[in-house]
Amino acid sequence: YKLWGGRFSEKPNEALQELNNSLPQDARLYADDLDASKAYAEALMRAGHLNATECDKLVKSLEIIRYDWVERLVKFEPSDEDVHTVNERLLVALTGELGKRLHTGRSRNDQVVTDMKLWLRKAIRETLSRLRLLIESIVSQSESHLGVLMPGYTHLQRAQPVQFSHWLLSHAFALREDCQRLAELRERSNVLPLGSGAVAGNPLGIDRIWLAERLGFAAVTGNSMHAVGDRDFVVDFIYCCSMVSLHLSRLAEDLIIYSTKEFDFIKIADSFSSGSSLMPQKRNPDSLELIRGISGLITSNLTGIMMTIKGTPSTYNKDLQFDKQYCFQAFDKLSQSLDVAVGVIETMQVRRDQLEAALSSDMLATDWAYYLVRKGVPFREAHHHIGRVVTLAEQRGVDITEVPLGELQQICAAFGADIASVADYGYNVQQYDAIGGTSTASITEQLRLLKNLDKQLRQQS
């Protein structure tokens, strides 16, 4: 069964058929294809091209075909180019001539974009749901460890004391924006292309507005030539996936470093570690390395689809067929990556003793500078003075808290005995109480924000 061929005298070449065959990719669109076909059959009826009995027969037969897919009863034939061919072939097998009427005024060009948009809607929902679980697991670990201190790093060098929860939540805020990006895409792309035909539109009185409502779209595309050649919504989705994967790669990098023997802040559960075939003692954070590495794979789909689209003539060209491969790989790999990330976060063990033991007195430097500022020293000078104190302490091999007051005063006269009070990490941390800071009040607010998001996402799914 072929959707074309009347004007061809030779059969397709085998090598071409293999390259051309999109079934291994697009078979997963079968349900979307059937949904769109049911709606299209009804639209044909409403436009007078089918009567009610015919339409009913088509719709019911499409449901039978769905059953066969679900039950894995569908057998492919060598001539099946794509999921659309398969579904039409099965329909004709069930309904004869009637089935040959369904494609009236429709082209695979508008059909496949419609199918992809239906699929995308579900893919966005699933991805949001996975993101929600990851944010939840971060929130939960953060709540359990409120009050645990650790060094906050910049440039991977100890910067200022922060709360462990503050650090962990910072990753959730990146993921929160991923949710926003996906939610916006869901709205932006929720526009029906069906009824664009091959390129020129539909001349058969199809009511596109009705079709859009029937299929849950908020609007219809405005120009048929644009609609059949447009894959921006696919690129957008792969972009969203790539951004999530980048965020996961940074989370993974943090965790890999924090679970080295040298940092020892985190213990990754056995179930998310692997061993070595040679070295009996090894416990490797394979899960996190895979998450880090896979960001290259997911992002490569973005580069790929953009390069594939670049410079193609407008409307439909066969190059666009690769959209599915890029899109499905990005979705599948990101899904796996998110699932593993959830597991790692949920099961990791936080080593409070090691985290707090890593705080060192040089990390008081900024607060010491603020101390001088409060005594009236301009900040830039205070910064310089404390820099000299740090060097002095380093040269002597002592903590800055061990430099005698007299020597401090030689560096800056504003030092007083009360400098001793700025040595409590926990106290200092609580001073950072502006929104977004590392004080407990601020972190509590962050948790509230993220739980609200969680609620919102749950309602949508």
Chain positions 351 to 370 lying near a second copy, rule: CB under 8 A, are 358, 360, 362-363, 365-370
- Select from 269, 375, 399, 460 the one that contacts a second copy (CB under 8 A): 269
Helix (H/G/I), strand (E/B), else coil: 308? helix
161 sits near a second copy (criterion: CB under 8 A)? yes
397 sits near a second copy (criterion: CB under 8 A)? no
CA dist., res. 432 & res. 303, Å (int) = 41
CA dist., res. 94 & res. 61, Å (int) = 7
454 sits near a second copy (criterion: CB under 8 A)? no
Helix (H) or strand (E) run with residue 442 in it:
helix 440-460
155 is catalytic: yes
Catalytic residue, candidates 9, 142, 249, 276: 276
77 sits near a second copy (criterion: CB under 8 A)? no
- Select from 154, 421, 459, 461 the one that contacts a second copy (CB under 8 A): 154
Shortest Cβ 118–a second copy spacing (Å): 18
233 close to 120: Cβ distance less than 8 angstroms: yes
Q: Identify which range of 31-39, 57-65, 68-76, 337-345 contacts a second copy by CB under 8 A.
A: 337-345
Report the alpha-carbon angle 58-60-63, nearest 5: 110
326 sits near a second copy (criterion: CB under 8 A)? yes
452 sits near a second copy (criterion: CB under 8 A)? no
Closer by beta carbon to a second copy, 74 or else 400: 400
- Select from 66, 84, 132, 351 the one that contacts a second copy (CB under 8 A): 84
3-state class percentages of the chain: helix first, strand second, coil last, to nearest 5: 65, 5, 30
24-29: which pairs have CB atoms within 8 A and are 24 or more residues apart? 25/324, 25/325, 25/328, 26/82, 26/83, 26/112, 26/115, 26/324, 27/83, 27/86, 28/119, 28/328, 29/83, 29/112, 29/115, 29/116, 29/119, 29/324
401 sits near a second copy (criterion: CB under 8 A)? no
First CA to last CA distance, the chain: 39
93-101: which pairs have CB atoms within 8 A and are 24 or more residues apart? 94/61, 94/64, 94/65, 95/57, 95/58, 95/61, 98/54, 98/57, 98/58, 99/58, 99/61, 101/44, 101/49, 101/50, 101/54
- Select from 28, 46, 343, 356 the one that contacts a second copy (CB under 8 A): 343
Q: Phi and psi (nearest 5°) for 192?
A: -80, 125
396 sits near a second copy (criterion: CB under 8 A)? no
Number of residues near a second copy (by CB under 8 A): 206
CA dist., res. 223 & res. 171, Å (int) = 41
287 is catalytic: no
379 sits near a second copy (criterion: CB under 8 A)? yes
Shortest Cβ 35–a second copy spacing (Å): 18
Site for a second copy in 184-203 (CB under 8 A): 184, 188, 195-203
Site for a second copy in 129-148 (CB under 8 A): none
- Select from 105, 117, 137, 324 the one that contacts a second copy (CB under 8 A): 105
76 close to 30: Cβ distance less than 8 angstroms: no
CA dist., res. 343 & res. 51, Å (int) = 54
160 sits near a second copy (criterion: CB under 8 A)? yes
CA atoms within 13 A on the CB side of 278: 0
- Select from 436, 444, 452, 458 the one that contacts a second copy (CB under 8 A): 436
Give the per-residue SS3 of 250-276.
HHHHHHHHHCCCCCCCEECCHHHCECC
Shortest Cβ 460–a second copy spacing (Å): 18
337 sits near a second copy (criterion: CB under 8 A)? yes
Closer by beta carbon to a second copy, 73 or else 188: 188
- Select from 79, 129, 312, 460 the one that contacts a second copy (CB under 8 A): 312
Site for a second copy in 238-257 (CB under 8 A): 239, 242-243, 246, 249-254, 256-257
440 sits near a second copy (criterion: CB under 8 A)? no
E strands present in 9-89:
none
304 sits near a second copy (criterion: CB under 8 A)? yes
Amino acid at residue number 198? A
- Select from 41, 128, 302, 345 the one that contacts a second copy (CB under 8 A): 302
Closest CA to 58 of 32, 96, 115, 84: 96
Catalytic residue, candidates 155, 277, 421, 461: 155
Q: Identify which range of 32-40, 64-72, 375-383, 418-426 contacts a second copy by CB under 8 A.
A: 375-383
Shortest Cβ 278–a second copy spacing (Å): 4
278 sits near a second copy (criterion: CB under 8 A)? yes
Active-site amino acid positions: 155, 276
